[in-house]
Amino acid sequence: MKEIKRIALVAHDNRKKDLIAWADWNQEVLVRHKLYSTGTTGRLVEEAIRKRLPLDAAARFEVTKLKSGPLGGDQQLGAMISDGEIDLLIFLWDPMQPQPHDVDVKALLRIAVLYNIPTACNRSTADFMISSPLLDDRYEPVLKDYSGYIGRPVLCD
C-alpha cells in the first residue's frame, strides 16, 4: 500500500447517516486519500465532504461511485479488492435488518478477509483505522497463501 490509500466506503440504508457523520468528522483525513463507494452512499459522502471544503478544493474532490450494493456494487468492490485496487474497507452494515443481497455482503467481507484488507464494520473500528499512523505510510500486508486449498473438498458442519 502506498501513502495515499484507496478507501472503500459502504453503508446499508439504516447506517448511511452514521457513515456520512463519520466521513464529515474525518473529512480532513479522507480528502488526502482516494475514496470509492457504492451508489447512493458515495453521492451522500461526496456532498457532505464538499460542503466543508474551500470552493476550489470542493470542485476537485470526488468519490468514485460504483453501482448500488444490491445492483452489483458490493461485487464490484470485491473484484477491486481481489485486483489489489482497494486498501481499506469501511462497511457500516446493519446487523438488525435482513438484506436482500446478503450473500453479496458476505462475499465482500470474505474477500476482504482473504486479501487481508483492513476492514471496519462499526464506527469505533473506523475511528481506530483512520487515526492509525499506518494510514499515511507505506504498508505491506502479509498475505496468506491459500493455493493449497484449491481442489480440496470443503467440509461444513
pLDDT per position as a tens digit, 71-84 = 889 999 999 999 99
Query: Residue 45 domain-assigned?
Result: yes
Beta bridge partner(s), residue 63 = 35
Predicted confidence (pLDDT) at residue 157 exceeds the cutoff of 70? no
The rounded mean pLDDT for the chain is 90
Q: What is the pLDDT of residues 38-53, one digit of tens each?
A: 999 999 999 999 998 8
Does 154 reside within a domain?
A: no
In a domain, 157, yes or no: no
Cα–Cα distance measured from residue 70 to residue 28, given in angstroms and rounded to the nearest whole number? 30
The closest alpha carbon to 86, from 150, 4, 15, belongs to: 4
Asked, for residue 99, whether it belongs to a domain, the answer is yes
To the query of whether residue 157 is one of the catalytic residues in this protein, the response is no
State the catalytic residue, choosing from 24, 56, 74, 102.
74
Residue 92, in any domain of the structure: yes
Q: What domain range is 20 assigned to?
A: 6-138
- Residue 8 phi/psi, 5° resolution? -95, 135
152 in a structural domain: no
Question: What is the number of domains present in the chain?
Answer: 1
pLDDT band at 104 (very low <50, low <70, confident <90, very high): confident
- Domain of 65: which CATH number? 3.40.50.1380
Residue 100 has pLDDT above 70, yes or no: no
Is the pLDDT at 148 greater than 90? The verdict is no
Asked if residue 39 is part of any domain, the answer here is: yes
Site of grid cell 471544503: 53
Residue 153 lies in a domain: no
Query: Structure pTM?
Result: 0.88
Supply the pLDDT for residue 33. 96
